Amino acid sequence: MRKLFKKVGLGGTFDVLHTGHVRLIAEALRRGEHVVVGVTSDEFAWRSKPYPVRRFEERVRKVVSLLRSLVRGEVFEIVEINDRCGTAVADPEMEAIVVSVETLGPAFDINEVRVQRNMSPLHILVIPVLRDAFGEKYSSRRLRCYLSK
């Protein structure tokens, strides 16, 4: 299948990987020849989350493991991000971004900055929020509660 974009980005904390993360990453891999995954730095994650988050290195290891289980070859890269926009505002080769409905706001912010910098806005690819059998959205915070019991 022909990929629609040369370079696609996505970002997140990726504290406890869940089905929503898999869907987000799989969509980026399906749409892009090269995928850039922004993982929040410890400082950014600890500042923005109301709960304890695993260390950056551990979160990156899990994301890389997931990526390698989904695709062969080095069609992805991991970058550390320190704010809501990450590297997407500075990468002129990036063509699209994959977000969930909940993270649509930062995608609009990224495009606003890109336009201000005379860069093309990104195509925004939105996936729905996935829910479990109880109708609750998948989240790392909820999974951590279950895992700690």
Q: Any idea what the CATH number is for the domain that residue 15 is in?
A: 3.40.50.620
pTM of the model: 0.85
> Is the Cβ–Cβ distance between 72 and 114 less than 8 Å?
no
SS3 (DSSP) at 37: strand
Q: Domain count for the chain, please give it.
A: 1
Question: Which one, of 56, 11, 19, lies nearest residue 142 by Cα?
Answer: 19
pLDDT of residue 102: 86
Domain residues for the domain of 57 are 5-147
Determine the pLDDT at residue 74. 77
User: What's the rounded mean pLDDT across residues 129-146?
Assistant: 56
Res 104 pLDDT > 60: yes
